[in-house]
Amino acid sequence: MFIRTEGFKDFFRLYPLVSIIVSFQIGIAVIGWIIPPLGDLIMFYGAGHHFFIEQGEYWRFLTPIFLHSPHNVGHILFNSFALILFAPPLEQMLGKLKFLFVYLSTGVLANILTFFVEPTPYYSHVGASGAIFGILGLYFFMVFFEKRLISQSDAKLILIITIISLVMTFLRPNINILGHLFGLIAGFALGPILLQSAKPFNPSQTPRRRTSNDGVNFDPNRWQKKRYRYRHWMKPIVIGIFILLVLIGILSNFL
């Protein structure tokens, strides 16, 4: 479920919403690095700054989901990796509209609850972490109450990643702890509503059927076969990359 074997074009074709979200947030980050004044302007009008929210700028509950700290490369890398890893199965299982609803609603709700629980006027935050924790929360519900939708190995991976993410939430500096926790809770709460009609992830839908000009046929399920061959060593690699990106995020705060 979480092993990405699709090619670049296939990924965009099969998971268009995930592709657009990742491309959009990376694009904004790159603009901020290349043109710092424009990046500063985007951050000024888009960050979840509680002082401006109190003045009626309620779009700031939504816009921080797509913004990341320009001084922390690990921030955008970590969140983009998490989206590419965990979001595609949900886009297929729920459908595009429901997936978009989960992503935006959990992120916005996490920011709204953070605003009310942390009333400090000068508190400010950016990042997709609330929405990503919403995705993890939905998987968390799946692990315990919709086991038909997830294999035991994938369930173990979700539990490990969620625990690591929660621990890192309290260890890393400059983290919106409330946003992470509220996002996780919001995703879990949406489970009973959205997962009843969800279909199990079907990896056989991922390959693109191709036939060469000379008539030689390609096996459309070749990637599915490779998936099972690499299953045993891919899980530790995924966890290792996840931890590495967390460490990069931590170290970048001190560089």
pLDDT in tens, 65-99: 999 998 888 899 999 999 999 999 999 999 999 99
What is the band of 212 on the pLDDT scale with cuts at 50, 70, 90? very low
Tell whether pTM > 0.85. Answer: no
Active site residue 212: no
Is residue 119 a part of any domain in this protein?
Answer: yes
Is residue 1 a part of any domain in this protein?
Answer: no
On average, the pLDDT of the chain sits at 86
Is residue 103 a part of any domain in this protein?
Answer: yes
Range of the domain at 181: 22-198+222-252
State mean pLDDT over 215-240: 53
Q: Which residue among the candidates 129, 151, 212, 232 is catalytic per the annotation?
A: 129
Please determine, for residue 211, whether its predicted confidence score (pLDDT) is greater than 50: no
Which two structure tokens, joined as six digits, stand for 22? 């990742």
Contact between 48 and 243 under an 8 Å Cβ cutoff? The reply is no
217 φ/ψ angles, rounded to the nearest 5 degrees: -85, 145
Total number of domains constituting the chain:
1
Is residue 134 a part of any domain in this protein?
Answer: yes
Contact between 246 and 240 under an 8 Å Cβ cutoff? The reply is no
pLDDT in tens, 119-170: 889 999 999 999 999 999 999 999 999 999 999 999 999 999 999 999 989 9
Q: How many helices (H) and strands (E) does the chain have?
A: 10, 0
Active site residue 180: yes
DSSP of 146-201: -GGGS-HHHHHHHHHHHHHHHHHHHHSSS--HHHHHHHHHHHHHHHHHHSTTPPPP
Which domain CATH number covers 39?
Answer: 1.20.1540.10
Q: Which residue among the candidates 49, 68, 75, 180 is catalytic per the annotation?
A: 180
pLDDT in tens, 189-202: 999 999 998 999 98
